């Protein structure tokens, strides 16, 4: 792998890191720490808002888990390492699970279904090491868009209601900003793979 390829793949891994860090960082800031809401807490926090599809707030982490495993399948050669990548992707998705006694309740059914679908996609990535790099890039772009756009849509839909709830005008937290930047990096990397697959491809075989 050339230095330029190392840099481009590192670019993607940086994006993944920012997505995960941002997701667990504050999306709704408040001067009181106990009232600050992280991305991982949004599906619970939005429970009183009937207009909000709370399950969509887990999509950033699910997309990150799938992209992580999909990428690792191209960078490692040993079967054991590829299995480990699948397990790691599944663990990332499981981090979005609410407490055990809540996950089977009707209000969390949508979140559970999204986690199951995401887990299935992670398992399927094991069979993608020979995927053409342009198709891989399209997959990254679609996963990144699917991970961030629905969450942004729902976040924008109820943010003003949060202001009313807190009786204050709140901005957005650094976690939200970092997560969005991470997804922008992922989209950029996927777009590069589509535009110039031969330049940025790597075949570990």
Neighbours of 128 (CB within 10 A): 16
Which domain covers residue 37, as residue numbers? 3-200
Domain count along the chain: 1
Residue 33 pLDDT more than 70? no
CB distance 163 to 62 below 8 Å: no
Residue 149 pLDDT more than 60? yes
The residue among 113, 117, 119, 116 whose CA lies nearest residue 88 is 119
Averaged over 74-82, what is the pLDDT? Answer: 88
Q: Which segments within the chain are labelled E, that is strand?
A: 26-28, 37-38
CB distance 202 to 1 below 8 Å: yes
The residue among 20, 16, 2 whose CA lies nearest residue 72 is 16
Tell me, what's the pLDDT at 167? 67
Average pLDDT, the chain: 84
Averaged over 81-92, what is the pLDDT? Answer: 95
Query: Which tens digit of pLDDT belongs to each residue from 89-140?
Result: 999 999 877 666 666 677 778 888 899 999 999 999 999 988 888 999 999 9
Task: Supply 92's token pair.
Answer: 């990332």
The model's pTM is: 0.88
Residue 205, domain member (yes or no):
no
Query: Which tens digit of pLDDT belongs to each residue from 157-201?
Result: 877 777 666 666 677 889 999 999 999 999 999 998 898 776 656
Residue 196, domain member (yes or no):
yes
Residue 29 pLDDT more than 60? yes
Residue 205 pLDDT more than 80? no
Torsion from C-alpha of 117, 122, 127, 129, nearest 10 degrees? 140
Residue 50 pLDDT more than 80? no
Residue 71, domain member (yes or no):
yes
Share of the chain above pLDDT 70, in %: 82
Task: Supply 28's token pair.
Answer: 């709704």
* pLDDT-based confidence at residue 36 (cuts at 50, 70, 90): confident
Averaged over 62-87, what is the pLDDT? Answer: 93
Residue 53, domain member (yes or no):
yes
Residue 21, domain member (yes or no):
yes
């Amino acid at each position: 792998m050339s230095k330029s390829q190392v840099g481009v793949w590192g670019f993607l891994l940086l994006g993944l890191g920012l997505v995960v860090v941002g997701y667990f960082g504050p999306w709704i800031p408040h001067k009181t720490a106990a009232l600050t809401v992280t991305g991982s807490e949004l599906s619970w926090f939005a429970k009183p808002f009937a207009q909000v599809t709370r399950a969509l707030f887990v999509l950033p982490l699910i997309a990150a888990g799938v992209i992580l495993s999909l990428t690792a399948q191209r960078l490692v050669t040993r079967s054991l390492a590829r299995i480990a990548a699948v397990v790691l992707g599944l663990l990332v998705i499981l981090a979005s699970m609410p407490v055990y006694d809540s996950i089977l309740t009707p209000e969390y059914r949508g979140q559970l279904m999204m986690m199951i679908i995401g887990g299935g996609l992670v398992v399927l990535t094991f069979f993608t090491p020979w995927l053409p790099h342009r198709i891989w890039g399209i997959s990254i772009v679609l996963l990144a868009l699917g991970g961030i756009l629905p969450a942004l849509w729902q976040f924008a839909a109820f943010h003003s209601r949060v202001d009313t709830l807190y009786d204050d005008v709140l901005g957005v937290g650094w976690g939200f900003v970092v997560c969005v930047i991470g997804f922008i990096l992922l989209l950029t990397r996927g777009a590069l793979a589509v535009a110039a697959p031969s330049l940025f491809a790597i075949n570990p075989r």
